Amino acid sequence: MQTHIAGIESVRESPWRASGAALAEPAAKAFEVKALEAFGTVVLVSRDHEVYAEGGPADYCYRVVAGAVRTVKLLPDGRRQITEFYLPGDIFGLDGFAARYFAAEAVADATLIRYPRRRIEALAEEDPRFARRLRDMASDSLRKAHEQMLLLGRKSAQERIASFLVALAERPRKGAADGIELPMTRGDIADHLGLTLETVSRVLNRLHRDDVITLASTHHIEVHDLATLREMAGEV
């Protein structure tokens, strides 16, 4: 298997071709357009390396094939907010026309397809359905952002963790029904939910003790009682 070397590495044997339904998650549907796929390039990014930097040029957008990506905003003293995680099937990097508003980094070794924004813009101009799809995606990012603001501004630690787990559990996945993969560390989760890693650990273990979830291994959780978890999330 190909190893992930430091930083970004473009694989030259592109264009890349979709290998069947396994990779075709709903959010990615819009990108299964022949005209665009021809311009997709496979990119490998190793864990904790940048896909792009805050303030850099916004020339490409990406689709996650494998691994996971986080978008990050930093304060000068190092405090960090992870604004979003992107898992296989997700598209990111469509935001920010002139320059990137935030950095994107690989949470775990990631395989991405990179598309030139120019091509996307061009395609959007000639295909209104595709343009519409793009706007829907932008709209959905904004919905998630507002949801997250509610979480960060008004929910308790337990409600935040529960909301996070419910969101993950509700993602369409290929594998087992109640098994969730957590490719990120406790620290990443903390920086996404506005908590400390100790609090994340404590709440997860409390949920385990209360038989709502099982901590099968550090990066694998099983949800026993999704209904209870939903209640705990505070949205009723």
Partner DNA sequence: CGCGTGATTGAGCTTGGTCAATTACGGTGG
Partner DNA sequence: CCACCGTAATTGACCAAGCTCAATCACGCG
Instruction: Please report, as ranges, the residues that interact with its own copies according to CB under 8 A.
Output: 71, 73, 75-77, 79-81, 83, 95-97, 101-102, 125, 128, 131, 135-136, 138-139, 141-143, 145-150, 152-155, 191-194, 234-236
Nearer to DNA, 61 or 221 (CB): 221
Tokens of 19: 């290998």
Chain mean position to CA 64: 8
Kindly state whether residue 234 participates in binding DNA, applying the rule CB under 7 A.
no
Measured from the CB of residue 185, what is the shortest distance to DNA in angstroms? 3
End-to-end CA distance of the chain: 45
Measured from the CB of residue 161, what is the shortest distance to DNA in angstroms? 10
Nearer to its own copies, 22 or 150 (CB): 150
With CA atoms as reference, report the closest residue to 25 among 77, 66, 82, 76.
Answer: 66
Q: Which does 170 bind (CB under 5 to 8 A by kind): its own copies, DNA, none?
A: none
Kindly state whether residue 80 participates in binding DNA, applying the rule CB under 7 A.
no
Q: Is 87 helix (H, G, I), strand (E, B) or coil?
A: coil
Degrees (nearest 5) of the Cα angle 136, 142, 146?
Answer: 145
Nearer to DNA, 4 or 114 (CB): 4
Kindly state whether residue 49 participates in binding DNA, applying the rule CB under 7 A.
no
Kindly state whether residue 199 participates in binding DNA, applying the rule CB under 7 A.
yes
Tell me which stretch binds DNA (CB under 7 A): 4-12, 19-27, 66-74, 197-205. 197-205
165 in Cβ contact with 229 (< 8 Å)? yes
Amino acid at the residue 183? P
Sign of CA dihedral 101, 106, 107, 113: positive
Tokens of 46: 């190793």
Q: Which does 187 bind (CB under 5 to 8 A by kind): its own copies, DNA, none?
A: DNA
Q: Which does 150 bind (CB under 5 to 8 A by kind): DNA, its own copies, none?
A: its own copies
Nearer to its own copies, 20 or 78 (CB): 78
CB atoms closer than 10 angstroms to residue 214: 15
Measured from the CB of residue 78, what is the shortest distance to its own copies in angstroms? 10
d(CA 157, CA 191): 12
| C-alpha distances out from residue 195 to 164, 167, 214, 217, Å | 12, 17, 21, 21
Residues in the site for DNA, rule: CB under 7 A? 156-158, 185-187, 194-202, 204-205, 215, 217-219
